[in-house]
Amino acid sequence: MLHKHRLFTLVLVLLLVAAILGGCGGGQTQSAAETIKIGFLGAQTGGHASYGIETLKGMQMAVEDINAAGGLLGKQVEIIVEDHGSKHSEAASVTQKLITQGAVAIIGDPTTGITKLAAPIAQGAGVVLLSAGAVGEGVVEFGDYIYRDTLLDRVAVPVVTKYLAEELGWKKVVVITSKNNDYSVSQTALFKKALADNGIEIVAEQSIQDGDQNFSAQVTAISQKEFDGIVFTGYYTEGGLFMKEVRSQGLKQVLVGGDGLLSPVLWEMGGEATEGSMVFTGFAADPERATGKTLEFIKKYQEKNGGKLPDMFSAQGYDAVMLIADAIKKAESADPAKFKEALRETKDWQGVTGTITFGPDREPIKSPVYLLEVKNQQFAVKAVLDVK
């Protein structure tokens, strides 16, 4: 009888322990073991939602392709989605949430400023972070878990500036910088050097802030100068509103800037005033000339999005997931400490945005630069510039 009582007690204790472990997250551990999780760090709401939404679309397409082909290491890939609402103040907590939920890699943020807030957290946790949009300075320097797959401003700006001087004949410009935007501040510094190197004079500089809506004072100030074009290093919302004010004051010059302007919001904010605006980027969808993976991606994207063409963010979001997937395959492990080394060794990797090689500093080496122009409220390819 005593033996039976002890056996009953033992069974009861084991059941209680199992119940406690289950309640303490045993189910999450099991779930994590069943899938390989990749986190999305970006905005689906707020001022930068356009970037985040497109990046996520590309990521989802990549995961669909990977899972349809059997997944990774015998497991399906899962995207964990969080929304920081375009708020810098939410960047750290969202990054930590993704890590806590078991992400082995994080794709994002599409912006330089939030990427720089997230990078030290990912580095400290030993989780790979790969931005599919950050082009400003001082990103990968946070450590050996931090990467990006976008065309860098420091590569594109000199090429574009040379085009402005030699092909468009620009000799004088005004420069507009958003002072509370890391991306804008770093891009302005690059433009200043490139403009000087190409003999283009800066006749005026004006400062704005992200979130500003009235630019009458800045435009009034530059209207007193003679210049050929406007170098605008900020984002699309302010860019559209700025050009609207430019036209309202009777100025005819167009602006040029980086992929911070790459959004339909540019002309939604500025209307006809944005016609002729130029934006440089590392990818442009051109179905008539695209081939291979790029053409396949464009067609799939159009099928899912009512015929709309993909932009740089969706394409680089797709490539970012595929880069992580290939590194995991090469390392034969989903351990970030292992597959980050395989990622670092990436050379002549063919993605939908072109060929990518990571240099010794883990920075992407990419070519060409696409210079787009707003025509009839669409981005059209104006020039394709080789990086030499």
Asked, for residue 5, whether it belongs to a domain, the answer is no
Q: What is the pLDDT of residues 298-343, one digit of tens each?
A: 999 999 999 999 999 999 999 999 999 999 999 999 999 999 999 9
> Within a domain: residue 10?
no
The reply to whether 171 and 217 lie within a common domain is yes
pLDDT of residue 31: 39
Residues 142 and 231 grouped into a single domain = no
Residue range 235-255: mean pLDDT, rounded: 98
Evaluate whether residue 7 is within a structural domain: no
Give per-residue pLDDT as tens, 183-196.
999 999 999 999 99
Q: Are 231 and 191 in contact (CB under 8 A)?
A: yes
142 shares its domain with 178: no
pLDDT tens column, 344-385? 999 999 999 988 999 999 999 888 899 999 999 999 999 989
Assess if residue 317 is contained within a domain. Answer: yes
Assess whether 67 and 84 both reside in one domain: yes
Question: Could you say which of 265, 281, 297 is where a domain stops?
Answer: 281
Residues 190 and 143 in one domain: no
Q: What's the mean per-residue pLDDT of the chain?
A: 91
Evaluate if residue 41 carries a pLDDT over 50. Answer: yes
146 & 159 share domain: no
3 Cβ contact partners less than 8 Å away, ≥ 6 residues apart: none
Whether 19 has a pLDDT exceeding 50, the answer reads: no
- What pTM was computed for the model? 0.77
Q: What percent of the chain clears pLDDT 70, i.e. is strictly above it?
A: 91
Residue-wise pLDDT tens digits, 43-99: 999 988 999 999 999 999 999 999 999 999 999 999 999 999 999 999 999 999 999
Q: Are residues 274 and 168 in the same domain?
A: yes
Instruction: Supply the range of the domain harboring residue 103.
Output: 35-151+289-366
CATH code where residue 194 lies: 3.40.50.2300
**Looking at the structure, do residues 165 and 249 belong to the same domain, yes or no?**
yes
Instruction: Pick the last residue of a domain from 238, 261, 281.
Output: 281
Tokens of 39: 């986190």
Tell me: do 170 and 237 sit in the same domain: yes
The whole-number pLDDT of residue 186 equals 93
Task: Please check the confidence at residue 296 and state whether its pLDDT lies above 80.
Answer: yes
pLDDT of residue 33: 56
Average pLDDT (223-234) is 98
- Same domain flag for 127 and 181: no
> How many separate domains does the chain show?
2
Residue with tokens 């990046």: 55
Residue 102: left if φ>0, alpha if ψ -120 to 50, beta else—which one?
A: left
Q: Is residue 20 part of a domain?
A: no
Do 73 and 328 touch, CB atoms closer than 8 A? yes
For residue 209, pLDDT over 60 is answered with: yes
Residue 1, pLDDT above cutoff 90: no
Of the residues 258, 281, 304, the one at which a domain ends: 281
List 177's β-bridge partners, or say none. Answer: 207
Lowest model confidence (mean pLDDT) among 14-28, 52-66, 192-206: 14-28
For residue 376, is it within any domain? Answer: no
Residue 133 shares a structural domain with residue 113: yes
Mean pLDDT of 131-140: 92
Asked whether the beta carbons of 239 and 257 are under 8 A apart, the reply is yes
Q: Is 188 among the domain residues? A: yes
In a domain, 124, yes or no: yes
Rounded Cα–Cα distance for residues 92 and 124 (Å): 12
Residue 235 pLDDT more than 70? yes
CA distance 127 to 123: 6
Residues 145 and 173 in one domain: no
